[in-house]
Amino acid sequence: MHLRSGEYESCFRHPLPGFILCRPRAKKEFFTDTMTTTPLTMRNSLSQFPLLLLVSACLILSGCREKQQNYYQGYVEGEFLHVSSPIGGRLEALAVSRGMSVAAGDALFTLDRTVEAAEVAEAEQGLQRAENQLADLTKGLRSSEIQAMEARREQARAVYDLAKIQYERSRQLLQQKAAARETLDRAKTEMERSAAEVAQLDAELETARLGARPDLIAAARTDVDAARQRLVQAQWRMDEKKLAAPQQALVFDTFYVEGEFVPAAYPVVSILPPGNITVRFFVPEPVVGTLKTGQKISINFDGAKKPYQAAVSYISPRAEYTPPVIYSRESRTHLVFMIEARVNADDATALHPGQPVDVRLEPPHG
């Protein structure tokens, strides 16, 4: 572009390449480049455009914040159950795999139980032996032994009856002075000896029918109880090597394969029951005072076909400056409180731990 001489007081190059600034002699100033001229008033208007844009953006963001004041960012949290055996052993069978759904009582895994099965068998035999000993002590002697004792008692009774007859005969003869006093004394002694033998056999027969002494029977009963407890312990150790699902759940992960040795108390399977799925989100300090446990919230996430309902189950009493997991669209620091909500068991299967969600607070009723 050619500049007319005499129309401008001075000209100089602009820092931007291709631009020249000139000061005209007249009152109106013009901005001149190599192609066109632009009035300075237009340049002033353009310099104010960023300010107008900033004000408009603030108004828009303010309106969005007002619109989303009941919406908060959160995530899904899962409380996993790690199923393990208190006794170590080789993993014999793994009945589940990752992602399976199990019902309460379904088998999860089995460890080798060879040693435990032998201990159970030994404990069962020990209990049977103790019970037999107790029964033997309470029964007394065998029936054949009691019959032999009864026969000896009958013999002693017969001897006593004969001795009694002889004593009576000797006493009559002594009264008739037909026998000596010595004969009567021998007959009396024989009768008394026979009577004592009959009494002894009666006592032995009664004792044989009663069984052992009470203290021996009490000791035998104690042995039976101890044997029964050993069997319970052996059976528990055997049962603890075959674990089942305590409730309906999703198999989240498995940590061993069949054939590996599993140390005691090391988890083999991790499961996630629907009731252990919660939603965590953070609300600012002015909002936490309006919440209460049991308050309804609605949850939404990417790909959800409908909002899911939940209820506030926990309100943290401590403030936090930074949530442990942030899905917020804003980067500035807030004074927030953690809130936990439990989802209905029927809807919990649609949520996954770590999944970001949008939480909307429902107005409290009443």
Residue-by-residue DSSP string for 194-262: HHHHHHHHHHHHHHHHH-S-HHHHHHHHHHHHHHHHHHHHHHHHHHTTEEE-SSSEEEEEE---TT-EE
Buried b or exposed e, range 132-158, using 16+ CB within 10 angstroms: ebbeebeebbeeeeeeebeeebeebbe
Tell me how far apart the alpha carbons of residues 16 and 199 are, in angstroms, rounded to a whole number.
141
Neighbouring residues of 295: CB distance < 8 A, sequence distance ≥ 6: 311, 312, 361, 362, 364
Provide φ and ψ at 154, rounded to 5°: -65, -40
Strands 249-254 and 107-111: what pairing?
Answer: unpaired
Say what the pLDDT of residue 20 is.
Answer: 58
What is the reported pTM? 0.63
Say what the pLDDT of residue 80 is.
Answer: 96
Task: Find the radius of gyration of the CA atoms of the chain.
Answer: 52
Tell me how far apart the alpha carbons of residues 249 and 345 are, in angstroms, rounded to a whole number.
11
Q: Which residue has the tokens 């844009």?
A: 53
**CATH of the structural domain 119-236, one choice from 3.40.50, 1.20.120, 1.10.3470, 3.90.1170:** 1.20.120
Domain boundaries 70-76+275-361, corresponding CATH code: 2.40.30.170
Which class is 81-112+241-272 in CATH?
mainly beta
Contact status, residue 89 vs residue 261, Cβ threshold 8 Å: yes
Looking at the chain, which residues constitute the CATH 1.20.120 domain(s)? 119-236
Long-range contacts of 181-184 (CB under 8 A, 24+ apart): none
Looking at the chain, which residues constitute the CATH 2.40.30.170 domain(s)? 70-76+275-361
Q: Which of 79, 112, 75 is nearest to 237 (CA)?
A: 112
Burial class of 22 by CB neighbour count within 10 A (0 to 12, 13 to 18, 19+) = middle
Amino acid identity of residue 366, one-letter, is G
Q: Which residue has the tokens 């603890």?
A: 240
Looking at the chain, which residues constitute the CATH 2.40.50.100 domain(s)? 81-112+241-272
Q: Which residue has the tokens 């439990």?
A: 342
Reported as type and span, the H/E element at residue 300 is: strand 296-300
Chunked into runs of 10 residues, the chain (366 residues) has average pLDDT values of: 54 54 53 40 45 50 52 94 97 97 97 97 97 85 81 91 89 81 86 91 82 83 96 97 96 97 97 95 90 94 92 92 54 72 89 94 74
Say what the pLDDT of residue 312 is.
Answer: 96
Tokens of residue 101, six digits = 């759904």
Say what the pLDDT of residue 363 is.
Answer: 79
